[in-house]
Each structure stands twice: as C-alpha cells, then as structure tokens.
A and B are shown apart, each in its own frame.
Chain A
Amino acid sequence: MASPEPGNAGDSSTYNLSSGMEDGSVGSGPGTNKTCPVHISDEEEAKRSFRKGIARHNDYVKISVPESKVNHLPTEWWKTVIAFFYAAFNLVLTTVVITVVHERVPPKETSPPLPDKFFDYIDRVKWAFTVTEINGMVLVAIWLIQLFFFKYKSIACRRFFFLIGTLYLYRCVTMYVTTLPVPGMHMNCAPKLQGDTQAKFQRVLQLISGAGLSITNSHLLCGDFLYSGHTVMLTLTYLFIKEYSPKSFWWYHLMCWLLSAVGVLCILVAHEHYTVDVVVAYFITSRLFWWYHTMANLQTLKCSPNNYLTNTWWNPLFNFFERNVQTSVPCSYSWPITWASTCLKNPCKKYSMVQSSREE
C-alpha cells in the first residue's frame, strides 16, 4: 500500500457513498463473502462513476485482485457423511471390544485395585460420577447448539467426527491389549457370559443405546480403563467449543473449561478410572486435536517437504477430508435457515448484525 492513511480515508469515504450498495450485496446469497467496499461488482452501474473517479485520484490505487471463482471453503456434505460413518463404526467397534474385554477382567477379589496416587489422597465420593456425566452431556449439547449456528458446519462436523472416531479407535487398541483390573471395590461388574454370543450382542446394543453412560444404566461392563472415554469427550468438546467460537467470549470459554475440568476431576474423585487413564486420554486428545488443526490451517504445510506431520497413518484420510479446504475456517455464525430471517421485520439490518464474520 502506498500509505495507510489515504487508504483508510478513501475506504471510509467510499463506504459512505456506497453504504446502500453494501447491504444489497450482503443479502445476495449464503455462499458469498462480505463484499469489499472498494471493489464494487460491475453490475452496480450507478456507482461505477464514483469508482472511476476515486480510482483516478492520485493516492488511490485500485489493485485489481482477480476475482477467484473457487470457493475456498466448500461444504461437501458427502465427506461429512463419510466421517460420520467412520465415527459410528469406531464407536460400535469400541462397544464390541468392551464386551470382549469384560470377559477377561480379573475378578476384584483376586486382582485388587492397583495403587494409585490420587486414590491415596482422595477418598471416593459417590455422586461424583453423575456430575461428570452431566457435565459431559451439557458440553455436548452446547457444542451441538454452537455447531447449529456455525456457518461452516459441514467442515467442523467432519473434523469432529474424524477426531472422535480416531480417538475411540486408539482406545480400542489400548483397552484390548492389556486389561487393567477394576479401580475400586465399589464397581459392580455385570456377570461374565462365557461364549453366549446372543447375550453379548444384546449387551452391545444396550451399551450403544445408552451411549455408555452410567446415568442411563448402560455402564455395567468393566475393563475399559485405559484410556478414559469420558475424558476424551469432555476434553474434545471443550477444545472444539473454544476453537470455533469468537475469541472475545472469554467468559464462555471459562465456563466451558470449568465444566470440562470439574468433569474430569470428578471421574477421579469417583474412583472410576485410574489417574493414568485420565492423563493419557487428555494427552492423546489434545495432541491429536492440535496436530490435525495445525495441518488444516497452515496451507504451506501441505506442500512442504520436511513436514513430518504427514507421517501418521491417518494422513491419507486427512488429505481426503481437507483437500479442498484452502483457508482456516473463519469464525462466523449465521441463521441456519434462511427463511427465519425474512420473517423478521427488517431482514437486512438484522442479518448484518448476526453475520459478523471475523477473519481470524
């Protein structure tokens, strides 16, 4: 830019001249970005003269950016559906593995709970696990509501499903290879069904329908200790909520962080998981989240030769999902259903208040 000051003055003066045009172009469709006030579309005949006049002015230089017809953030709902099936498959696999592992858990009489530092200091509190599950459900609900109003839901959803699926897949592996004993004598494990496949199948269904929560009485199986699925959900929903909401909502982020932290702490207070389960779950969740999002946000990483972030096994899946996403997803919200805005009295005005896209 030649100098910042004339640019600003020019922009604001042009903005005043073309303020009527601004509202008109914003309402032109859900997919268009906010029109830059300096670069007016050619259909605006009446304003073209202003533009030419300004352009001829000494200090105003029109740097014509070629209008890119490519949408940098395509919705591609079919990829989101594939991600959903991936997550669903992994969740079902997890329930099957839990059922299998349950048969192998040593009975608590022969294999007492392992020594755990947290359990030495804090005794068990009975209602703590309910707090965890309520916090988890609240966080998931908040995230779903936030997703509902998010402009780029398909992309955010896709990422959420992929990460959840991969984390539960890892969990299958760690649960299956080594079976930890129950963390406390209070745990009531359902009786073992040696070889009764029909009953096992029913158990799997029961677990899926109750989402593995003890509130819904579907958390009767033991052995799924390393690592903690509750921690994964609490941490992941918090990370997503924080990442896809405006940075200025610090009170909102704090509230969600408190929900998440209290939930995780209550898992330990309830003696439902060993401390190492929670620590490993937090570690794997946060690292995977940051890894994925850095790769998705920094386009230069995709073509860089010395990028070891692509050495993971899920890199082809990542490329498939994020190939056409060319910028980092901006934090913008809008009414999900377009007719909702027309029902309001002054649609353009309200729309411009809600549509506050902030390029991060």
Chain B
Amino acid sequence: MPGYSEFYFNVDHGYLEGLVRGFKAGILTSADYVNLAQCETLEDLKLHLQTTDYGNFLANETGPLTISTIDDKLKAKLLTEFHYFRNHAFEPLATFLNFITYSYMIDNVILLITGTLHQRPIAELVPKCHPLGSFEQMEAVSIASNPTELFNAILVDTPLAAFFQDCLSENDLDEMNIEIMRNKLYKSYLEAFYKFCEKQGGTTAEIMRPILEFEADRRAFIITINSFGTELSKDDREKLYPTCGKLYPEGLHLLANADDYEQVKCVADYYAEYKAVFEGVGSGTGEKTLEDAFFEHEVKLNVLAFNNQFHFGVFYAYVKLKEQECRNIVWIAECISQRHRTKINNYIPIF
C-alpha cells in the first residue's frame, strides 16, 4: 500500500519524524548568522552559539578555541543526533539512514587511499574522515594496492561492496584511477539510493526524487568541468555520469561532448533550474562560485522536504542542512580568525 503510508507511518516512524522536526527548529536562522558574522573573536562566536540550540557544546573546552575543535564538536553533535535516529529506526527507515552514511563512507575510503598514496601515516588521516562514514574496516583500506584487492580483502564485508561491481580492475591505484573509482562508486551509490527511494514510493519518492536527481546532475556537471585538461577520454567520462538525474540521457550526451565551460553552460541552458544556477555564478572575487550556487540550490530543495509529512526525506534533508550549517559556521569562524571580514557573508543561509 504505498499510496496510503500516512495511515500507518506514525506507528513505526512517528517518533523519529517528530524528533527530526524538533531538531530542525534548532537550525540557525538568518538572524543567528547575522549575529555570528558580527563576532570579533572565536570566543564571541562561542558565546553567540551558546544562545542557540547548540547550547554549551563548547563549554568544557579548555585551552584556546581553534576552528578544528569547533568543526569536530559540530560534527560530533550531528553524529550523536544521527546515531540516535539510527538506533531507534525501524526498517525501511533504517536502510534509508544507512544509505545516507554510504556517501560519507565512500568519501572516507577515497580519502584514506589517496592519503596512503601520498605516504601519509594512517593515524594522521583518520581524524580527517567524516565521522558519519566511519566503519570498522576503514583503517585497513591503506593496505590495498589495487581496486580488486581493496574489494576482495576489505570492502567485501561492508555495505559498499554492492557499489563496487563497476570498478573492479587490476589497475594500480594512482590519483586518476582513485578519482575514477570515487565517481564510479558514487554513481552506483546514487543509482541504488534512487532505486531504493522509488521502491518506497509515496511521499518519500516524491521528495527524494528531485533531491537525488539534482545530486546526480550536479556530479555530472562537476565531473565534466573538472575533467577539462586531464587525460580522461570523453567515453570514459560519460561512464562516470550518474544516470538517475534530469539530464539523463540527452543532457549527459551533450555534457560528454562538451569541450569547455561555455559548452557546459549551453547544456545547462536547456534545463530551467540549472540555467538559473549557472546564471547566478559570478566570475569576479567576492561573487558566488559554481559550488556555492549548487549548495544554495541544494539547500532550497532540502528545505522543501519539510513541507510534507509522513516521509523519510526529512532525515536526509536534516543531515544535509546540518552539514551545510557546519560548513557555514566553519566558514564564518575561518573568516573571523583570519581577519578576512570581506568574505564573511558568503555563507548560505538556510531559513
């Protein structure tokens, strides 16, 4: 009965949905950001954050405040909340929440492999991983020398194994291959997540569809733009595009054949929302970058998720919005500590 989920949704997921909506009310508003942006020192920032839902999450920090401690604490708070959701979730919400963590797991794996490639000690790399995507075998990733070994020895036990089918090869792990592997993993992940949401049907699918489609298209755009000037062939490039977006199939073909930024922009012109995104990008300093424009659009889509009830999209949206909030706070903190006040307003307000 996918169409009638609202009748029994609350039986299993009502508590968590209520909770996530409560947490959502604690997301910083633009008024909070204005206050934060006026701070002179990190101590002031801490004082201001104390008046918000973050409370005294930095209260027991002894010693001088650094941006990395702020970042860690912000992430730790999100992690606590997320683990609470995950521990209280029933199926299929549990799987849905797992899917959210997979993207962080992919990032962590890639980060560790790249780090090992550059001969960094593993102890230095692990703290840089996103805590949402940590898993037991994570640190063992560094012993693998090629993708097949990585898969057979380490990742076969993890949920990521399912996404690995496409990237099994005997190639050595060099920077290019790692990047290709990341994108292939991401593509499989997005497609699987998309399929999962479609299977849920109802409002969940309705809400998650635009969000995931946008995510897929954003990756396609970014892969294309980043591949200019590298030795990636156009055919290979096309294989990396996630196929669950709005661009599929015609847009992806066009993107695959694009040669420079202008052509990418031409492709985007065929799609109303992406046209708006690309038009918002400025080239001068102090103006929005393409990344920021994409983030802004993502925030807009995620905020929309809260307009509907009885669906899982709110959890995804909450994690993403909270992540954006962490980025914003860290950005403001960076600007404060580097005395770079001109760019302090380049954060992306959420509400």
Do the two shown chains form a genuine complex with each other? no
A residues lining the B interface (CB < 8 Å): none
